[in-house]
Structure 1
Amino acid sequence: MNTTTTANFDETLQEALRVSQTNDGPAAIALFQQALAINPQSATTYSLLAAEYITLGYVAESEAAYANALMLAPEFHLARFQMGLLQFTSARVAIALLTWQPLLALSDDHALKLFVMGFAHMAQDDFEVALGYFERGIQSNIDIPPLNTDIQRVIREIKSLQEKLALDATNSTEPTPTITPAEEENKHESEVETSAHFLLNNYQQQGPLH
């Protein structure tokens, strides 16, 4: 981009961010799209657009924007994590784990890897193991504080669910009904969807805009 084009892009992007802070989603989306019309190679702008879409409940549009960000910048780890979280909270756990797979190549103490491991174990109802990964991830994550806040919500939700399951087990006097494997699988998928649905949030992008 030449100097004038770069200035126009930066100005439009900064205005989009300012409008986003006022919670005017449609206006912010329009401005992010304008910025991308000027510079369609900006992976960060696609990621910001994706986050704005999800605040309005536009799941398909958000996922497409994250996909564009990752096509431009495959090593954009935060965008990959967010895209997987979007899929996870849409009850597409297998797809989310596939999206997250490259994050497993990160170092063992990398926060995003630890969070992914937590969600993977959460999906298998390995709640104690999941809690361990989430807590280690929070300790490792110093770059994205809002992410820690949301993972702490996940931890509270898991503990609440554990308490409920323990109480149900204590109070249950009815015999367990016989269900088919297909019914058991559908029941598990429903539980994953219910427990995961609250997780998605609009994480603020950190670092330089590019």
Structure 2
Amino acid sequence: MNASSLNAQELMHLALYASENDTPDKAIDHLKQLLKIEPDNGKALYLLGALHAEIGMHDLAVEEMARALELDAQLPDTARFQLGLLHLTAGRIDDAEETWKGLEVLGTEHALHLFKTGLLHMVRDEFQESAEALRAGIERNSFSEDLNNDMRRVLRDVENAAGSESSKPADSGDSQRMLLSIYEKQEH
């Protein structure tokens, strides 16, 4: 079947399938085809951004995710969280904070709010506060075990840093791996 004969819905399903089966090149191709049909499809742009983050194209990923959030207010809150995370891992703390302001409506006890709070404490070397917020977020997160696993890795780094108090959390590559999980299936 020729990709040009597929409609947007078929292309989205193929992109998700390819992504779930570790073929990001095919997923990216399907999403680009979809965006030729529907250039303002926020979900497709978000997924494309997540895939670009996965393959290390972070600047492009930020651009695509930001545009996706502009286009589609119905994207799950995890999309905003991931965009903030991209900013944070690039050292753009002010941009991460600005992006995460949209999570304030969730309330201070929501897992995503707690995770962003914990991460912001971490970058300020406030390790005790970071660990408390991350633990609380993991406890309250019932919508994504992948996200909990990512936050547990960050929590281990924070706890190690808190134990030494003289160094920042070791970056064993886990902060980049956080961006590899696509949480788009979540409705939170």
Q: TM-score, normalised by structure 1?
A: 0.76
Moved more, 145-154 or 26-35: 26-35
C-alpha distance in structure 1 between counterparts of 2:98 and 2:114, whole Å: 16
C-alpha distance in structure 2 between counterparts of 1:87 and 1:196, whole Å: 18
The structural deviation recorded for 1:140 is 1.3
Counterpart in the other structure of 1:113: 113
Amino acid at match of 1:96: A
Counterpart in the other structure of 1:100: 100
C-alpha distance in structure 1 between counterparts of 2:109 and 2:172, whole Å: 24
Classify 1:90/1:197 alpha carbon distance in 2 versus 1 (closer, same or farther; 3 Å).
Answer: farther
Stretches of structure 2 that go unaligned for 5 or more consecutive residues are: 1-5
Counterpart in the other structure of 1:180: none
Amino acid at match of 1:40: P
Q: Contact 2:144/2:186 (CA < 8 Å) preserved in 1? A: no
Percent of aligned positions that are identical? 29
Counterpart in the other structure of 1:203: 181
Q: Contact 1:88/1:196 (CA < 8 Å) preserved in 2? A: no
RMSD: 2.2
2:79 equivalent to 1:79: yes
C-alpha distance in structure 2 between counterparts of 1:148 and 1:155, whole Å: 10
Q: Render the CA deviation track for 1:26-71: whole Å, top value 9, x for unaligned.
A: 2211111111222233222111111111111001111111011111
Q: TM-score, normalised by structure 2?
A: 0.85
Greater C-alpha radius of gyration: 1
C-alpha distance in structure 2 between counterparts of 1:50 and 1:36, whole Å: 12
Q: Contact 2:49/2:62 (CA < 8 Å) preserved in 1? A: yes
Stretches of structure 1 that go unaligned for 5 or more consecutive residues are: 1-6, 169-190
SS in 1 for 2:142: coil
